[in-house]
Amino acid sequence: MKRDFLNITDLKKEEIFYTFEKAKEYKEKRKNKIPLEKIMQGKSFGLLFEKPSSRTRLSFEVGIYQLGGFPLFMSSENLQLIRGENIIDTAKIFNLYLDGLIIRTFQQKEVEIISKYVDFPVINALTDQFHPCQVMADFFTLWEIYKNFKNITLLYIGDGNNICNTLILGADILGIKMNICTPEKYKVKKEIWDMVKNKNLFNETIEPKKFIKESNIIYTDSWISMGQEKEKNKRKKVFLPYQVNKQLVKNAPKKFLFMHCLPAHRNWEVTDDILDGPNSIILKQAENRLFVQQALLYFLYK
């Protein structure tokens, strides 16, 4: 039976840790210049992207190639989808040619529909609702640093978006304490909280400074997601009090870690001195996308 990765909830806790161990192995091999086993030899993977991408595209293309597979980038603008071809018809065609599909799109429903009409694994590389590959890499990065999740508290500050949603669902699975700070009109939606089993792990607030002292990880994301550019000025006004800057973090634990999934709008959601400062682990997050996604491919095809 095929396995998909459409949301982080598609994995059990032990499967997440299994993936982390495999990602660690792949990272060590790259460090020691040991070639990877070509477990994807002869397999072709479609990368269907309806949104721009840097880290996601690069990490998947390089990762698939290193495992022996062939990555085929497909912009929706160059497919018959742009001329109105039915998504189910497109999925059936994918099923004739491909061995796997990585999708970066707007609607979660689109990913779920395609997965029903193909016989191979489908991976969600980002939708408006979830970003599971990024968050798997984020938690792997923290696991590398802390070795476990027992003594960490993560503060997410900003927009209650796809990153925030997925962090919550991942923290729920892994037992990570998490504080969420968003403006009133941009809070996490009820449908996400309805999916959470361990609600005692979470606190919500609209006050940016409320949980700073007790949070050793501070995570923020762009205030303007793809497709929200017309709201730029409105959002900047609402979110400016939620900027991660020296004033905000002065009461944070000394060794707090700063996280951001990138791309960052510098001096909007975070100031340069924090983004480039000694507490920032943004490049570790980005680097680990490669190894975690390779490990996910291994898990889905083993």
Tell me, yes or no, if 134 is annotated catalytic: yes
Cα angle for residues 111, 121, 25 (degrees, 5° grid): 120
From the candidates 129, 181, 221, 235, which is the catalytic residue? 221
CB–CB of 275/264 below 8 Å? yes
Tell me, yes or no, if 221 is annotated catalytic: yes
Q: What are the start-end ranges of the E strands in 99-236?
A: 100-104, 122-126, 153-157, 177-181, 202-205, 217-220
Tell me, yes or no, if 131 is annotated catalytic: yes
Cα distance from N-terminal residue to C-terminal residue, the chain: 12
From the candidates 55, 235, 260, 289, which is the catalytic residue? 289
Tell me, yes or no, if 265 is annotated catalytic: no
CB–CB of 128/283 below 8 Å? no
User: Which residue shows structure tokens 């018809």?
Assistant: 89
Tell me, yes or no, if 289 is annotated catalytic: yes
From the candidates 55, 66, 129, 131, which is the catalytic residue? 131
- By CB atoms closer than 10 A (0-12, 13-18, 19+), residue 233 is exposed
Amino acid at 160: G
Phi first, then psi, for residue 161 (nearest 5°) are -105, -160
From the candidates 66, 129, 134, 294, which is the catalytic residue? 134
Q: Are strands 100-104 and 44-49 parallel, antiparallel or unpaired?
A: parallel
Tell me, yes or no, if 261 is annotated catalytic: yes
From the candidates 235, 261, 285, 294, which is the catalytic residue? 261
From the candidates 4, 55, 104, 243, which is the catalytic residue? 104
Question: HSE-up of 207 (CA within 13 Å, CB side)?
Answer: 6
User: Which residue shows structure tokens 């491909």?
Assistant: 98
Catalytic residue numbers, as ranges: 104, 131, 134, 221, 261, 289
